[in-house]
A and B are shown apart, each in its own frame.
Chain A
């Protein structure tokens, strides 16, 4: 008990007496630890955060009916099979042939909020539809028919299975022109409810686009779960989006990993050289201790204890600073909170202790091996 308290006093006193030199060493260890914990945290969180960015490519999972159309109940069952926090958006679509000025056009009934969440790349000149009775017109259609926002457009529909020869018509206000650079520009979009009023049939859908934040493997699993939960639905991956995302995301993660490894290796060497310099400086002290009769073992334990205590303190400081750094990166780049891996804290501290320990062991050894007289003489 007495021995160990004396040991502690020696270590702490030595740290306190050489305050400025030790602060320098502590700072360098803390920087190393900050880089370690900060970069590793970012590395682990990159797939999740970047995955969210990739959702701007739109739907990566499509639900279609196993034979033709499916019902809204099926859709609800299917959606329930996907975890709510992974689901970025779901947009049901029902396509019908309608006529504008007696020319056939494809009208798509959808849930506008869902379509907006699923397809962030849709650009609307004017405004998105916010209620029933409104219409979003594809750019190509708008150009062909010379339509402008604010105008009222009449859609007419010929019911298929009824005797009545009368066409059903519906007047809608154009709130926006849709610009996507794709085939969506050739359709008109209205709310599902309006389309159901127009056709007189409710409750069926042709396709449902899902934007799910998940990697290809998880997506396949979700697709299976959806097909199981709702037998009327078959779910497919949108290969173009999922395959490309896997390629690009894996490259990105490899990039961050390699950068982390290179930066870490270099910083850890930096920490090691600083520690070596700090210990080498104290050759005289070691010589003096040997001269007044200290054993090699006691000198090594004392100096190692000092280095490792420094390593531990630097590690704790660095783990905290690293978290701050990772959080700043996350807020600035992805504007969302980082998910902190708590395991990184003990790992950072352990790595710091090991690196400082290893880098001081060699100079201490070489100092103890030399004849104290020579060291003290300064040769």
Chain B
């Protein structure tokens, strides 16, 4: 009988019920869209902030200052990192958070006009097959995203035809009268090479007076086979807190559990520590300019999104509440009739609540998927990538829908139950 009555309501009053389902679907879609975006915005903004370049630099332990200070020549053992260890960076605990990295080696070379130039070797778009089966194109093509190519193109390591190609800074190119496609003879400390200039870049800094060439070209020129000066690493990090700061100073000052928390959180300092573990004789340090600012901006963005989400959740909740209340109140005469023919209060409330909940579940499920669709539209339009579905969104949306439906219907039902059937049926309310 109970089931028949419910089916009856849903079938006969399908228009009204559809309206309730529609409003609940709207609210649920709003909630799921905003929650999905909010929970993923940190990762997405973190990716965007990678345009600022590396946030960690790795240098040899025998610090470069000593080299500069005392002008050590000849014996350079311990002042270089090993090229064959580069792959290990992608094997650390937080390997997944390492978005990009590039090794650097620089040397002085003589130009045909007698002037001396700084020549830097690096990866441009070095292709790597990782042990995990992933592939990564790492190098300065992505880590120097602010470079403007004024002539020619980026050097492409995979398709370059000339054996020794290079890119040249705009200021130097202008001084030498060189364009993309020209050949430049450089005389390094150990060898002389003809460099095929692929492109001219405008970096807006010191680099404009330099030449960038692939790692091996520079190593050949300087006689530094297998050696590199420094590594720049671009990693997704968690903003530092008090624990991270303490650990950065001295990891041994932590208790075992603190150490584990620190080691297994993607703080800049713990990633640095893990890089130091795999690269022999190295010191990895966060670049404060990038690392600190990233933390500040990520926090602000997340807080902003949280507040916007809270507002829209309140909006959605009140909207649903309203309509549910309205639709229950509308059924005063029906409830009055049921009471007049002897229905118990409990039976009446049970009936109305079940009807509304069936509608709410239908609307909520529909709305959840619609909301996730909205989140994808936002993700693709703004960040060009999908918003990942966090499992957390499902229970939060479900609880929200249930609570709001209850909050909307219970006061209304109680009020109707208090009314006398005769008055309601008479229509004198």
Task: Give chain A's interface residues, CB within 8 Å of chain B.
Answer: 21, 24-25, 27-28, 31-32, 34-35, 38-39, 42, 46, 50, 53-54, 56-58, 103-105, 119-123, 140-141, 143-144, 179-182, 186, 236-241, 243-244, 247-248, 251-252, 254-256, 258-259, 262-263, 266-267, 269-271, 273-274, 276-278, 281, 325, 328-329, 332-334
A123 touches B319 (CB 8 A): no
From A21, A42, A252, A267, contact of B301 by CB (8 A): A252
Q: CA A266 – CA B24 in complex, angstroms? A: 11
B381 touches A121 (CB 8 A): no
From B57, B148, B286, B305, contact of A239 by CB (8 A): B148
Which residues from A are CB-within-8-Å of B323?
270, 273-274, 277
B303 touches A332 (CB 8 A): yes
A21 touches B329 (CB 8 A): yes
Interface residues on chain B, size class:
35 or more
B292 touches A121 (CB 8 A): yes
B289 touches A121 (CB 8 A): yes
Which residues from B are CB-within-8-Å of A241?
52
- 13 chain-A/chain-B pairs, Cβ below 8 angstroms: A21-B326, A32-B315, A121-B289, A140-B64, A141-B65, A179-B288, A180-B288, A255-B383, A263-B312, A267-B319, A270-B27, A277-B323, A277-B327
The answer to whether the Cβ of B378 comes within 8 Å of any Cβ in the partner chain is yes
| Smallest CB gap from B203: residue in A | A239
The answer to whether the Cβ of B205 comes within 8 Å of any Cβ in the partner chain is yes
A254 touches B288 (CB 8 A): no
A39 touches B308 (CB 8 A): yes
Which residues from B are CB-within-8-Å of A332?
303, 307
Q: CA A13 – CA B233 in complex, angstroms? A: 71
A56 touches B322 (CB 8 A): no
Q: Which of B64, B308, B314, B374 has the most CB of A within 10 A?
A: B308
| Smallest CB gap from A28: residue in B | B322
Instruction: Spot the interface stretch: B29-37, B92-100, B192-200.
Output: B29-37
Which residues from A are CB-within-8-Å of B308?
39, 42, 256, 259, 263, 329
B297 touches A274 (CB 8 A): no
Which residues from A are CB-within-8-Å of B329?
21
A244 touches B146 (CB 8 A): yes
B300 touches A50 (CB 8 A): yes
From A119, A120, A239, A325, contact of B146 by CB (8 A): A239
Instruction: Spot the interface stretch: B43-51, B102-110, B155-163, B416-424.
Output: B43-51
B378 touches A240 (CB 8 A): no
Interface flags for B185-223 (1: CB within 8 Å of A; 0: not) read: 000000000000000001111000000000000000000
Q: Sorted from nearest, which 3 A-B pairs have the closest CB atoms?
A: A239-B204, A243-B146, A270-B319
Q: CA A101 – CA B319 in complex, angstroms? A: 74
The answer to whether the Cβ of B382 comes within 8 Å of any Cβ in the partner chain is yes
- Closest chain-A Cβ to B219's Cβ sits at a distance in Å of 23
B322 touches A240 (CB 8 A): no
| Smallest CB gap from B325: residue in A | A24
| Smallest CB gap from A125: residue in B | B249
A144 touches B66 (CB 8 A): yes
Which residues from A are CB-within-8-Å of B52?
57, 240-241, 244, 248
In the complex, number of A-B residue pairs with CB atoms less than 8 Å apart: 206
The answer to whether the Cβ of B347 comes within 8 Å of any Cβ in the partner chain is no
From B292, B318, B377, contact of A28 by CB (8 A): B318
- Closest chain-B Cβ to A355's Cβ sits at a distance in Å of 13
The answer to whether the Cβ of B304 comes within 8 Å of any Cβ in the partner chain is yes
B293 touches A34 (CB 8 A): no
Which residues from A are CB-within-8-Å of B63?
140, 143-144
Given contacts A34-B315, A144-B65, contact A270 B326 (CB under 8 A): no
From A56, A243, A247, A263, contact of B293 by CB (8 A): A56
The answer to whether the Cβ of B138 comes within 8 Å of any Cβ in the partner chain is no
- Closest chain-B Cβ to A214's Cβ sits at a distance in Å of 16
- Closest chain-B Cβ to A66's Cβ sits at a distance in Å of 14
| Smallest CB gap from A273: residue in B | B23
Q: Which of B291, B318, B330 has the most CB of A within 10 A?
A: B318
From B37, B146, B304, B377, contact of A329 by CB (8 A): B304
B65 touches A38 (CB 8 A): no
The answer to whether the Cβ of B2 comes within 8 Å of any Cβ in the partner chain is no
73-100 of chain B: CB within 8 A of chain A: none
B381 touches A240 (CB 8 A): no
B289 touches A58 (CB 8 A): yes
B288 touches A122 (CB 8 A): yes
B205 touches A334 (CB 8 A): no
Which residues from B are CB-within-8-Å of A31?
314-315, 318-319
A35 touches B311 (CB 8 A): yes
| Smallest CB gap from B68: residue in A | A186
Interface flags for B354-384 (1: CB within 8 Å of A; 0: not) read: 0000000000000000000010011001110
Which residues from A are CB-within-8-Å of B26?
266, 269-270, 273
- Closest chain-B Cβ to A89's Cβ sits at a distance in Å of 14
Given contacts A248-B49, A277-B323, contact A240 B205 (CB under 8 A): yes
- Closest chain-A Cβ to B101's Cβ sits at a distance in Å of 15
Q: CA A275 – CA B390 in complex, angstroms? A: 35
The answer to whether the Cβ of B41 comes within 8 Å of any Cβ in the partner chain is yes
From A24, A54, A259, A269, contact of B322 by CB (8 A): A24
Q: CA A54 – CA B48 in complex, angstroms? A: 13
The answer to whether the Cβ of B139 comes within 8 Å of any Cβ in the partner chain is no
A24 touches B204 (CB 8 A): no
- Closest chain-A Cβ to B80's Cβ sits at a distance in Å of 17
Which residues from B are CB-within-8-Å of A119?
289
Which residues from A are CB-within-8-Å of B145?
243-244, 247
- Closest chain-A Cβ to B15's Cβ sits at a distance in Å of 9
- Closest chain-A Cβ to B368's Cβ sits at a distance in Å of 13
A144 touches B300 (CB 8 A): no
Which residues from A are CB-within-8-Å of B64?
140, 186
- Closest chain-B Cβ to A336's Cβ sits at a distance in Å of 12
Interface flags for B278-308 (1: CB within 8 Å of A; 0: not) read: 0000000111111111001100110111011
- Closest chain-B Cβ to A15's Cβ sits at a distance in Å of 16
A255 touches B382 (CB 8 A): yes
A182 touches B288 (CB 8 A): yes
- Closest chain-A Cβ to B13's Cβ sits at a distance in Å of 12
Which residues from B are CB-within-8-Å of A258?
377-378, 381-382
| Smallest CB gap from B378: residue in A | A258
Q: CA A143 – CA B59 in complex, angstroms? A: 15
Given contacts A42-B308, A237-B204, A239-B146, contact A277 B19 (CB under 8 A): yes
The answer to whether the Cβ of B53 comes within 8 Å of any Cβ in the partner chain is yes
A24 touches B292 (CB 8 A): no
B322 touches A35 (CB 8 A): no
| Smallest CB gap from A43: residue in B | B308
Given contacts A31-B319, A35-B315, A273-B19, contact A251 B382 (CB under 8 A): yes
Which residues from A are CB-within-8-Å of B383?
251, 255
| Smallest CB gap from B54: residue in A | A181
The answer to whether the Cβ of B22 comes within 8 Å of any Cβ in the partner chain is yes
